[in-house]
Structure 1
Amino acid sequence: MRATTPHLYKMLFLTLCFSMGWNMKPVDFHLDLASKEEKGLAAPFNLNASKAKVENKKEEETTSEPIPIIEHALDKIEKTKSFQSLFGWGDNVANRNCDTCQDEIRNMRYMQCNAQNNYLEAEMKTAAESQSSLLGDLIRAPIKPNSIIKASCIQMGMNTKFGVSSKTFRQCNAAGAARQAFRPCISENYFKMVNNSFELVSSCMKDFIAPGKDEETQNLDVRAVYALINIESGFHVNAMSGTGAGGIGQFTAPAIQDVNSNELNAVRISLEGNKNPLCSRLSMELLDKMEPIRPGKAQSCERISLRNGNPMKNMIYTYAYLKGVKADMNNMIFENKNYKNKFRMSEYDLNKIKRALMVWSHNTGPAGTWTPAKTLLNTFYRGKTVTNADQFIQQMQQYMQKFPASANKSSARRKETSRYFPEITKTLNNIENAVGGGTCVN
């Protein structure tokens, strides 16, 4: 980064810190996913950067700076640098695995809003003008060029999940009452709010969902969550189903109750113990000062309202729920004395299976996944071991149909649950191919 005028920047930095209180075609699961890059394919939930790229990425830094996005009393460039410093996004000023990402961000185009879809704009403007709101900071901040998930992938998910005239959305008033609305305008503020929220929450929660794992494994989990959200909401903060499932993660009452009862305290401890002070601020501002999301259908606006900390709070709940699901899968299968020795494969491939079951369970519920999984292990793999991760995942699709949990026995649910993970994989593949191939992970 270029040298700065010390006294000016020091005063600017201290002023900002003080004022902000800164602290469907079936998916071919039998592919050799480890060799995806060689075949030019986008494989489900696998980061395939070569070891050489990982080893050399420290040498690939450049000194180019992102273009300024906002104007206030300060000069545009000075203000942008200040937000980079605030969010720790100025240490890596260029994307280390994507030489063109700076240009992609610079050339991003946004929607022209109209009277039907601009209903979030005023609320975001109010948030952006607040100097003490984390959400406002994220709206004002530039887009990080080397975020975990490429900004172009998130923008494509937002553009393609629903049509502009879709009414799968709700607008909430100050009293918490919801009415049907069109898809919100994907303006620059809206995109930055969603993209920067996901980057911050993912950076803070990836060690919670995969504690002690290496960066590649944690980033693969983030990629899996990104792919899941594409199917659930297309990253739209106010997407809501007729049943009241709402927000980024499309949370239902049982899932909210599960997080509130079993995960929320552990999330607070993890976030407030994170070395990144923004993670502690995330917890104190959204989980300590605000009430938890309530599960009742009458409180469905709490899952989508910006005033209730969304989209960040809904993203935190998504990660928290998936962490609980992973624990359930470990107890019932991977650490169960009857099954743990059946998996004879590398840790990388075993994590691939765990990741698939984690994502599947977001739709089926934990029992909806472990029931067919245990049946598969007790029948097809009776007296045998699992040595091929992709074959096991493909077989799970079949066993979801044949041996569903009691809550998923209807014809409609069998069809939905069996197709859920393959559809997520197909969508992810399509997006990654559309943005240039490879992976959405930077």
Structure 2
Amino acid sequence: MHTNNVIDRNISSASAPAVDNSKNRYAFEQCATEKRNYLENKIAQMPEEYLRPHNSDWTTSIPLKCIQFAQRNFNGNFAQCDDEESKPKLTVYRPCQTENYTHLVYNAFHDVMDCFNLDPKEFYLQFMIESGFHINAFNKTGMDSGIAQFTANGIKKVISKNRISRTREALLSSSRPSCSRISSTMGAFDITSFSVERRCAMIAVPQNPYRSMFFNYIHTMLDQIELKSDVERELSTLESLKPALTDRIKRQLVYLAYNRGMTGIKRLLVGYSDYKKSMKQTATEQDLDLNQNLARVKKILRAEPEKREILARAIKKGKLNKLSFAEYAVIHKATYVADMVATQDYVQRQLGDQCSRF
């Protein structure tokens, strides 16, 4: 959910491991010092079922090396937590990517995907950008915490209206092993946990990464419902966009909303709709597709920031023809769009289509 320039900070082509497509995974790390083994003892105390893969339980899955690839290419910050009630302590040391650590994250991701009938390829990119699939990723500026990088507002949204308890009841009534594993390990959650002092509630093991992944699911579903409701309510305003708002495009917008916020997404959509009307154009799915090459426009705006205002004024005056929604968003400071596209391109170059779908 953070607003940093994620690609430049977290993705480095020089750190990409050699890919052996004949194997499902890379070698696990073995760290000699305690500086990077700080999660190992708590993970080792978890029941064995959380530390071995359950591919036969899942409807669909991605290779383990997809998770390892994201973890190795994350250059963000981390925090250590004694328990879920403690205050996060910033550390420069990333956790050791041992067999247990990697399998725990892999299982949590797939159990949530399987329990709620989600496609792991459609969520992979979000976690790679936000946290690199690290349990204790931490943004020291915004206090975004854990594998889902929850902010205070994000946690408030999820825990309001008794949503956690109601969704957990559905978990308990499910016959799927994946749902059972989620419910058994995430623990209770105090409403005061959204304070900065309690951010460890989204980081600490053994409750996490399952708790954070579960909360991410609820947050995503709420964004999807809100987007659908807003489009229907503001149909007259967004009439020029309606034919292009396919399920795939809506999924991309929810992706973007996780960083930008739903209010920001609505503002961008209304602005782009007004732009298309001024051009006497009806938007197509291709116009709204965020998966476009934005390197050039991003490079220009970085080198010459003053051009952002020039371009924004040109849009208002109807002087820029055939502008895509992605380009419109980047010009209006939604640079996360370009980050998503660049990350997808990078993953595709290194691992093909086996990890993500955008």
Match status 1:385 vs 2:282: yes
The CA RMSD over aligned residues, in Å, is: 2.9
Write the mapping of 1:4-403 to structure 2, written as runs, cut at 5 A: 104-105=23-24, 108-115=26-33, 116-127=35-46, 130=47, 136-139=48-51, 141-142=52-53, 144=55, 147-162=60-75, 168-174=77-83, 176-181=86-91, 182-206=93-117, 218-219=118-119, 222-242=120-140, 243-262=142-161, 263-283=163-183, 285-286=185-186, 289-291=188-190, 294-307=193-206, 309-333=207-231, 336-338=234-236, 339=238, 342-344=241-243, 350-381=246-277, 384-391=281-288, 393=290, 395-401=324-330
Q: How far 1:334 moved relative to its partner? A: 5.1
Matched length: 299
TM-score of the two chains, using structure 1 as the length reference? 0.61
Unmatched runs of 5 consecutive residues or more in structure 2: 8-19, 293-323
For each residue in 1:385-410, what CA deviation from the matched residue of structure 2 results, as whole angstroms up to 9, or x when unmatched? 3223355536333433555xxxxxxx
Structure 2 distance, partners of 1:109, 1:320, is 33
Does the aligned pair in 2 maintain the 1:342–1:384 contact within 8 Å? no
Partner Cα distance (1:375, 1:368) in 2 = 11
AA partner of residue 133 (structure 2):
F
Aligned to 2:347: 431
| Aligned residue type for 2:132 | G
Q: CA deviation at 1:124?
A: 1.1
| 2: CA distance, partners of 1:286 / 1:342 | 40
Cα distance 1:138–1:155, how it changes in 2: closer, same or farther (>3 A)? same
Q: Which has the larger radius of gyration?
A: 1
Q: CA deviation at 1:335?
A: 5.9
SS of equivalent to 1:236: coil
Task: Indicate how the Cα distance of structure 1 residues 195 and 284 shifts in structure 2: closer, same or farther if over 3 A, else same.
Answer: closer
Deviation at 1:143, TM superposition (A): 6.0
How far 1:112 moved relative to its partner? 1.8
Q: Is the 8 A contact 1:363 1:420 kept in 2?
A: yes
Taking the aligned partners of 2:253 and 2:177, their CA distance within structure 1 comes to 32
Deviation at 1:292, TM superposition (A): 5.9
> Which letter does structure 2 place at the counterpart of 1:123?
K
Q: Is the 8 A contact 2:330 2:338 kept in 1?
A: no
What is the alpha-carbon distance in structure 2 between the residues aligned to residue 280 and residue 433 of structure 1? 36
> Structure 2 CA distance, aligned partners of 1:342 and 1:180?
44
**Identity within the alignment, %:** 24
Contact 1:227-1:425 at 8 Å conserved across structures? no
Output the TM-score relative to the length of structure 2: 0.74
Structure 1: how far apart are the matches of 2:287 and 2:275?
Answer: 18
CA–CA separation in structure 2 for the residues paired with 1:402 and 1:419: 8
Q: CA deviation at 1:433?
A: 2.6
Report the Cα distance in structure 2 between the residues aligned to 1:424 and 1:224, rounded to whole angstroms.
12
**Separation in 1, partners of 2:170, 2:347:** 32
- Does the 8 A contact of 1:194 with 1:311 survive in 2? yes
Q: Tell me the SS of whatever aligns to 2:89.
A: strand
The 1:138–1:392 alpha-carbon spacing in structure 2 relative to 1, beyond 3 Å, is closer
Contact 1:150 1:441 in 2 (8 A): no
Whether the 8 Å contact between 1:143 and 1:196 is mirrored in structure 2 is yes
How far does the alpha carbon of each residue in 1:349-401 deviate from its partner, in whole angstroms, 9 at most, with x for none?
71221111101111111001110111111231465432233555363334335
Q: Once the two structures are superposed, what CA deviation does each residue of 1:216-241 show, in whole Å capped at 9, x if it has no partner?
A: xx42xx32321011011000000111
Q: Distance in 2 between matches of 1:334 and 1:153?
A: 37
CA distance in 1, matches of 2:63, 2:356: 6
Distance 2:167 2:341 in 1: 28
3-state SS, counterpart of residue 284 of structure 2 = coil
